[in-house]
Structure 1
Amino acid sequence: MKHPSILQIAGPPPSKGPMVEHQKAIGLWAVKLPSADSTVVRRTLSALTENPHGLPGVDENDGQIERRKNFWSTVKPAHFGVKIGSKSLLGTIRFITVGLFIGLFGSTAFGRWLLLKYPSIFSLGWFKKQGPTEEEVRSGSFKMWFIGHGYSDANLASQGNRKPDTEIITRVMGPEIGYITTPIVLLQCALVLLSGRGNLPKGGVLPPGIVFGPTDLQERLQQNGITFDIISKNVLSA
């Protein structure tokens, strides 16, 4: 079995930090989220380490080859973690409580029966058997914040354990994430496959980033109500 390539990431590894922290820059309390997102990102970066110019398409023209190489030349390996945020500390306690319920009861058949039988109780009102109303779906929205620490100059990155000197904050936001945004993303991915199959890799089990990175997927999503914004870029104190 082939193992993913080891990522060489500039600078010292980030500290684990507290389980709950206050992100002052965006005004949110955040708690670590044990999701698959970090693994998917690492798989994408590992694939990029093995293929620095990305994966070649099955029938690319010269223009697409150049576009693919230019796109991946701007992507650098990074440490990546996921947290779920709330405007209040009480909200993060609610996240932790629901997570404990799922972890505790999800490990046994009887516990899973309880979770499915009484979802509203064990999710503290977040989930219910009948699902959301159309009005709740229409009024819903999501925001994903990305807080990145890195280097303003490649020479700084090569100086061993020197700490990052730059912080950049970006945001992705759009309509309700489950019933509206997810179908939008899946349909646009399908349209990319239909319209540009020759520009995409041959196939296999691949993380979506390495496949759709150099395509026009982001532009398609922006045209369908999902926005990508750079919020700020600041110098970090030494």
Structure 2
Amino acid sequence: MGSDPSVVKRTQRFLYDEEQQLPLQYSAYVGVGGLFSVVKFFCGGLIFWFMAKFRLGRRLLTRFPSFFSFGVFTKAGPTTKQMEDTCFSLTFFGEGYSEDTDPSKGRPNAKICTQVIGAEPGYVATVSAMVQAAVTLLNELHSLPRRGGVYTPGAAFYKTSLIDRLQNHGIKFSVRDHQ
């Protein structure tokens, strides 16, 4: 679901072609909190899909977003308190081979767990990330890919200080566990 798998695949292709790094395998998963949550998510998505197909349904969805989203979305947007009380956390789990291990000789023998944590994702963290990305582009042209074209963020910012900039502006990257 989403664009992440294709963005990761294109980034891996760039790193293989330009940096001779072996590509990794990637899959994205989302935890939804149990069977009842899955049923709610499915029913809500089905109702939204059905309503969005018809002009009257689209008009109702845009006129009464709070009613049809059970208060999750409103025309007014979130309050300041809601934004202050909201944060995001992304956890990544990886398995692979330690430095001197031949992958053809058995199963992966190393694991890692990393995490990205930040403030409210829609109005705070996204704005901070976009500003820091723009500042990085302006200040580090020498670190960007040499040839023109369309690059994924991972390819474009690979040799820049964007991660350090984000760390200094409230988006924290950490290694939680390493074996």
Please classify the TM superposition score into its range, dividing by the shorter chain length: 0.7 to 0.9
Alpha-carbon distance between aligned partners in 2 of 1:89 and 1:148, rounded to the nearest angstrom:
26
Q: Determine if the alignment matches structure 1 residue 208 to structure 2 residue 153.
A: yes
Q: Deviations over 1:173-208 (max 9, x none)?
A: 010001000010100010011111132124321111
Alpha-carbon distance between aligned partners in 2 of 1:94 and 1:142, rounded to the nearest angstrom:
22
Change in CA separation of 1:167 and 1:101 when aligned onto 2, cut-off 3 Å: farther
Question: Counterpart of 1:220?
Answer: 165
More helix by share: 2
Equivalences, count: 178
Alpha-carbon distance between aligned partners in 2 of 1:154 and 1:103, rounded to the nearest angstrom:
51
Partners of 1:35 and 1:82 within 8 A in 2: no
Secondary structure class of the residue paired with 2:30: strand
Partners of 2:143 and 2:159 within 8 A in 1: no
List gaps (5 residues or longer) in structure 2.
none
Alpha-carbon distance between aligned partners in 2 of 1:123 and 1:41, rounded to the nearest angstrom:
31
Alpha-carbon distance between aligned partners in 1 of 2:154 and 2:73, rounded to the nearest angstrom:
30
Change in CA separation of 1:200 and 1:88 when aligned onto 2, cut-off 3 Å: same
Alpha-carbon distance between aligned partners in 2 of 1:156 and 1:198, rounded to the nearest angstrom:
36
Secondary structure class of the residue paired with 1:85: coil
Identity %: 35
List gaps (5 residues or longer) in structure 1.
1-33, 54-72
Question: Counterpart of 1:52?
Answer: 19
Cα RMSD (Å) of the superposition? 2.4
Larger RCO of the pair (alpha carbons < 8 Å, separation 6+) = 1
Deviates more, 1:189-198 or 1:81-90: 81-90
Q: Determine if the alignment matches structure 1 residue 164 to structure 2 residue 131.
A: no
Q: What TM-score do you get using the length of structure 1 for normalisation?
A: 0.65
User: What's the CA shift for 1:150?
Assistant: 1.3
